[in-house]
Amino acid sequence: MILLIIFGLVFICSIIFVIIRLSISCMFWISKNPKDKQHVFKVYFPYYIIIFFGLCLTAIITSKGDSSMICFCTVVYLLALIIWRYIIKQKPRVYRTIKENNELQNPNLP
């Protein structure tokens, strides 16, 4: 029984993580400059977090202040903030061509 509860919690947490991650990724997909993370953060983050806060607050009010709903909404809200921070702080990948890689490995070869 305990294993089933743990499996259910892990499944629910992973679904929530994927949904939040997709909602944040949509902000980058609809942006005109999806590569410029700072621009996307400055333009879309305030609206995203205000709407998200409103949804969490509505859920808490409709549940009449149930402590489990308060904990759930708090965790989801903090998870959204952590995901935003991770995306913004993530360093961009540098793609090099095969020729550039060969030159970096053997700089003295003609």
User: How would you write the pLDDT of the chain (110 residues) with one tens digit per residue?
Assistant: 888 989 888 899 899 999 999 998 888 888 887 777 888 888 889 999 999 999 999 999 998 888 888 998 999 999 999 998 988 887 666 665 666 556 556 555 55
Regarding pTM above 0.75, the answer is no
Tokens of 28: 């980058």
Going from the C-alpha of 71 to that of each of 56, 58, 98, 105, 109, the distances in angstroms are: 11, 14, 51, 53, 62
CA distance 24 to 93: 19
* Contacts for 8 with CB less than 8 Å, ≥ 6 apart: none
Which string of DSSP letters, residue by residue, matches 6-19?
HHHHHHHHHHHHHH
CA distance 52 to 76: 10
pLDDT at residue 51, rounded to an integer = 92
CA distance 40 to 37: 5
* Contacts for 100 with CB less than 8 Å, ≥ 6 apart: none
